[in-house]
Structure 1
């Protein structure tokens, strides 16, 4: 499996959103929820309308860890979600596949959607985990609190969290950039 990176540039995040919007709001919202909640793609794809409709938090049992997770839906994301789910049934998957009556988008298809948009923008090292890593990267850069982020991600140590979001890579690159003997 290839290693993916967070999107470290706000302008590229905006371009990615616009690129995804070209094919409809579903793809945009998949990315938008991913980068604003830090949920794993498997947990995002299993969400149904009733999981977010008229809610202040997304509450799930993580598929990977089986732990309960509760993530705030902030006011900006709430507005986007409300606009997106307007007219949808409570039992509908948020991200429906075009195959079947009410089937969720597959992980593979989610990867293809994100990768296609990224390739149109000449971005590399992009995959479904990019959404979670982007959330973590920006959360850390804004709040500088690795302990909170470690808890959000259910990681066992701060070093795992920093490595996961690419902060260690940034620090290593910075130390080597002007290093020349």
Structure 2
């Protein structure tokens, strides 16, 4: 299985957001929150309307640490101004205990309704839209990687912040994770030349 990549082209990100906004507002909010927050998909899927309603920040316990004996990691992230108003419109008719990204279908095994979409559904949505825009090696983790990649590209001084947010132990892991190592290697190889000049 290929390692998923961030979406590097900001113009493509804008096109995807515009496309999703008119085809599925839920998927638009999901995609937008993913690329603006750096949250894992498992954390995004557990968010409820009450946790974001009229809030500037969202407090949550990372799903990855929730069931461990280790100390639970409480985290906080800002709701990005670019999506704040759309998010408030999206949740305006939701009860506080409703999942933000609820499935439109009844769960086959339990018969439950209103449960969050699962990772497979999220993956199908993200990979489907990626394919539509000619992107490869894109999956649900690409949203988090896109967030990190663009924070780093906008200002490399954000590297320490990214290490903390991702829970990485070293810079090399973070650079590899956001796909910057491959970009740097490609650029270095393009500069390498064995032809005579002039």
SS at match of 1:27: helix
Q: Which residue of 1 aligns with 2:184?
A: 171
C-alpha contact (below 8 Å) 2:37/2:80 kept by paired residues: no
| In structure 2, distance between residues paired with 1:120 and 1:75 | 27
Q: Deviations over 1:31-78 (max 9, x none)?
A: 000000000001001111011112121111111134111111233332
Larger radius of gyration: 2
1:119: how far off?
A: 0.9
Once the two structures are superposed, residues 118-144 of structure 1 have per-residue CA deviations (whole angstroms, 9 ceiling, x without a partner) of 111111111001100000000111121
Instruction: Give secondary structure in 2 for the equivalent of 1:70.
Output: strand
**Paired positions, count:** 181
TM-score by length of 2: 0.87
TM-score, structure 1 as length reference: 0.94
Matched with 2:81 is 75
State the Cα RMSD in Å.
1.3
Distance 2:80 2:11 in 1: 21
The correspondence for 1:119, drawn from 120, 126, 131, is: 131
Separation in 2, partners of 1:178, 1:158: 24
Q: Is 1:152 matched with 2:152?
A: no
Q: Which runs of 5+ in 1 are unaligned?
A: none
CA distance in 2, matches of 1:166, 1:129: 12
- CA 1:167–1:18 in structure 2 vs 1: closer, same or farther (change >3 Å)? same
Unpaired segments of 5 or more residues in structure 2?
Answer: 67-72, 107-112
Matches of 1:115 and 1:86, distance apart in 2: 28
Q: Which secondary structure state, in structure 2, belongs to the residue aligned with residue 64 of structure 1?
A: helix
